Amino acid sequence: MRGERHVVCRASELAPGERRIVRLGGRSIGVFNVGGSFYALHNGCPHKGGALCEGPICGTTVDASFGYGRDGEIVRCAWHGWEFDIATGVAIADPAVRARTYPVVVEDGQVMVVVPGTTRARGVRR
């Protein structure tokens, strides 16, 4: 994976259902533990730049009878409430919209996020 690895925390310090907002390589990034797997999303919403990673971690309605599912797999942007799949960054209502994701590596009990070098373009990418 290209880019620089940044240690976020020990895996044991980020329990399932939890998140951390960290600043890495000049970017605000949300790191999530969803059921034991770690994911990182850019904390800037592709919609209007809101604090995407700081909204509720939740599920959503998954069928026409208001069945509720995917609990813990979705983050709603803190500003306007768009729902994103934490694992893929895909917007639930419009898969053409994606939040930027970063690779996460867990090695020797450390959670590390791979962030492209600072010479590369920053900011929101759709």
* Binding of another protein by 7 (CB under 8 A): no
Within the chain, residue ranges assigned H as helices are: none
Residues forming a β-bridge with 42: 29
- The answer to whether 44 and 123 have CB atoms below 8 angstroms apart is yes
122 contacts 29 by C-beta, under 8 angstroms: no
Q: Which is nearer to another protein, 66 or 117 (CB)?
A: 66
CA distance 118 to 48: 23
Closer by beta carbon to another protein, 59 or else 103 = 59
Give the count of residues interacting with another protein (CB under 8 A). Answer: 18
Candidate residues 16, 35, 81, 123; the one interacting with another protein per rule CB under 8 A:
81
Part in contact with another protein (CB under 8 A); list of ranges 11-19, 35-43, 55-63, 103-111: 55-63
* 83 touches another protein (CB under 8 A): yes
Question: Smallest distance from the beta carbon of 91 to another protein, in angstroms?
Answer: 7
* Phi, psi at 21, each rounded to 5°: -100, 120
The CA–CA distances, whole Å, from 22 to 2, 68, 82, 99 equal 20, 30, 21, 16
- Footprint (CB under 8 A) of another protein, residues 85-104: 91-94, 97
Binding to another protein by residue 61, rule CB under 8 A? yes
Q: Which residues bind another protein (CB under 8 A)?
A: 47, 60-67, 80-83, 91-94, 97
